[in-house]
Amino acid sequence: MATTDAETATTLLRNIKNVFRARFSWWIKRGSGIIFDWLHRVDTGGGIAVRDLEIASANRDKGIAYDPCPWSTLRESLGLIALRAEGFTFVDIGCGKGKVLLSAMVLPFSRIVGVEFSSYLTKVAERNVASVRLITRRCPHVQVICSDAVQYQIPEEPIIFFFANPFRYEIMEVVLDNIVRSYLKKPRPIFMMFYATSSIIPQISEFLSRKSGGRALLRGSSLLGLRSINIFELPQDQEHLH
């Protein structure tokens, strides 16, 4: 089929936009992060020296450094599969300074939990949750737990887990094993969102499917800006299997 001038121009524009995005995304992210912090009177910036993190865990070297997600990440991830916050506990595994927790607070989750193994980052997240201004809080129950994710006790309620590339696959497997075991003991809806984790999605997918006896479903995959989002579901019962 012949390509029209309009199509050529559109493709060219898209390519220019992508190159611009890739080149300047770091600066755009940093700039909007600074404005966000100033506006909401919080501290969510990255780039913290490892010696300041106060991590006691033996898994310290298997963790990925704190890097905040854009504010819209959670809302866009939920929108991707038309998932509503009502009736769910939201858990951010590796919550850092709590940027994603802040974005969860404007949604009507039953409760919100952040798990973080750096006691320095945990303290900052607690401060941010307490002091953030100019947001409409729709979930008042927010808790930040200082713990290695592998030791985190999975709550027995419907949960949406959020993983923003927190650690290497070997740690991921231990945490996912805990989640699937808890699900098999007490089946209830569990969603797992993996952001910026594309390189280990095949391993995650295979592991979840095998451990859950084929019950885990990939519900959505997309790009949010330059980063990937993949969402898996462990459905409450067979009727949820499509």
Ligand X SMILES: C[S@@+](CC[C@H](N)C(=O)[O-])C[C@H]1O[C@@H](n2cnc3c(N)ncnc32)[C@H](O)[C@@H]1O
CA separation for the pair 193, 161 (Å, rounded): 6
Closest approach of ligand X to the CB of residue 95, in Å: 5
CA separation for the pair 208, 232 (Å, rounded): 9
> Hey, is 171 helix, strand or coil?
helix
Residue with tokens 């509503």: 84
Residue 90: burial class (beta carbons within 10 Å; 0-12, 13-18, 19+):
buried
Closest approach of ligand X to the CB of residue 212, in Å: 22
Of the candidates 74, 171, 176, 229, which one interacts with ligand X according to CB under 6 A?
171
Q: Binding segment for ligand X among 105-113, 132-140, 166-174, 204-212 (CB under 6 A)?
A: 166-174
Binding flag, residue 148, ligand X (CB under 6 A): yes
Closest approach of ligand X to the CB of residue 165, in Å: 5
Of the candidates 121, 132, 159, 179, which one interacts with ligand X according to CB under 6 A?
121
Contacts of 35 (CB under 8 A, 6+ apart): none
Number of residues interacting with ligand X: please give it, by CB under 6 A: 27
Binding flag, residue 142, ligand X (CB under 6 A): no
Taking the mean position of all CA atoms in its chain, how far away is CA 2? 43
CA separation for the pair 10, 3 (Å, rounded): 11
Of the candidates 66, 109, 207, 232, which one interacts with ligand X according to CB under 6 A?
66
Cβ nearer to ligand X, comparing 71 with 207:
71
**Can you give the binding site for ligand X, defined by CB under 6 A?**
57, 59, 63-64, 66-69, 92, 94-96, 98-100, 115-118, 121, 148-149, 164-167, 171
